[in-house]
Amino acid sequence: MAVDFALLLFVLLLISGVIWAIDEIWLVRHRNAAGATPQKMPWWVEYGRSFFPVILAVFLLRSFLVEPFRIPSGSMLPTLHVGDFILVNKFTYGIRLPVIDRKIIDIGSPQRGDVVVFRYPPEPSIDYIKRVVGVPGDRIGYYDKVLYVNGEPVTLRDGAKPVQDGGVEFLRLPEQLGSHHYEVQWMPQRPSPQGEVVVPAGQYFVMGDNRDNSKDSRYWGFVPDQNLVGKAFFIWMSWDGGQFAVNWRRIGSSIP
């Protein structure tokens, strides 16, 4: 069962805040009463008062500014690797109330090419990360492993280069969506879903950069605006599980 960390953090904040308030309003006066022998602060009060400002700072930072995520799969290769730890901008697409995730201030919307974290529509307790390839009103086509946006191809087959990864052969090709320049990869021998759709209002079409190893909008549909968590923008840590070592070359990289 997935743990709702935002809810857990809110509950801890509420408990520690209540303890802090009770102590500040009532208990501290009894401990410091005139003529009385100073009393030691109860352990639960000491812990509550100590943790409250820390939890409050983490809660505000995580809810409204940035949130860390770990990449669990290779669906965004070669852009993001398994073991990358990334930061997600929480306010780029609007200010949302924590826990209930309701937008209260509309600041901006995803643009084509943005890498976004969102709550997986079929199971919103799970966070996914993909690249936005279609915004509301766009006509998105995918034929012969080439992505088309409003009838124009954005996958550049002339720049294809073969690579080997774990004994499997891939082709990597450059793509450009708006100001985003990046590479995608696909497997020459693996069939891909094909077709064309129009993105509805208030929804987005997303795809993984690892096109033949990504379950995305081609399979389960669009991402509603209310499911957006934020825009991925920075790799702050990368752990190579195969080598059991930090991948220093990836640390500090921006996400194209």
pLDDT digits 0-9 by tens, 159-175:
788 888 777 889 999 99
φ, ψ of residue 242 in degrees (nearest 5): -65, -35
Instruction: Give me the CATH number covering residue 166.
Output: 2.10.109.10
The reply to whether 125 belongs to the active site is no
Same domain assignment for residues 39 and 115: no
204/220 Cα distance (integer angstroms): 12
Same domain assignment for residues 31 and 150: no
pLDDT digits 0-9 by tens, 68-115:
999 999 999 999 999 999 999 999 998 888 777 788 888 889 999 999
Q: Which two tokens stand for residue 155?
A: 């996958």
Catalytic residue (one of 16, 75, 214, 217) = 75
The reply to whether 130 belongs to the active site is yes
Same domain assignment for residues 156 and 59: no
Axis crossing angle, helix 5-22 with helix 43-64, rounded to the nearest 10: 140
Same domain assignment for residues 39 and 72: no
For residues 39-60, one letter each, b for 16 or more C-beta atoms within 10 angstroms of the residue's C-beta and e for the rest, the string is eeeeeebeebbebbeebeeebe
**pLDDT band per the 50, 70, 90 thresholds, residue 204:** very high
Position 102 in a domain: yes
Q: Which domain holds residue 183?
A: 67-250
Same domain assignment for residues 33 and 51: yes
Q: Are strands 168-177 and 180-186 parallel, antiparallel or unpaired?
A: antiparallel
pTM (two decimals): 0.85
Residues in the chain: 256
Instruction: Indicate the average pLDDT of the chain.
Output: 89
Same domain assignment for residues 89 and 47: no
Q: How many domains does one find in the chain?
A: 2
Q: 207 with 217: CB under 8 angstroms?
A: yes
Same domain assignment for residues 54 and 138: no
pLDDT digits 0-9 by tens, 26-81:
777 776 664 555 667 788 888 888 888 998 888 888 888 899 999 999 999 999 99
How many CA atoms within 13 Å lie on the side-chain side of 80? Answer: 33
Catalytic residue (one of 16, 63, 130, 217) = 130
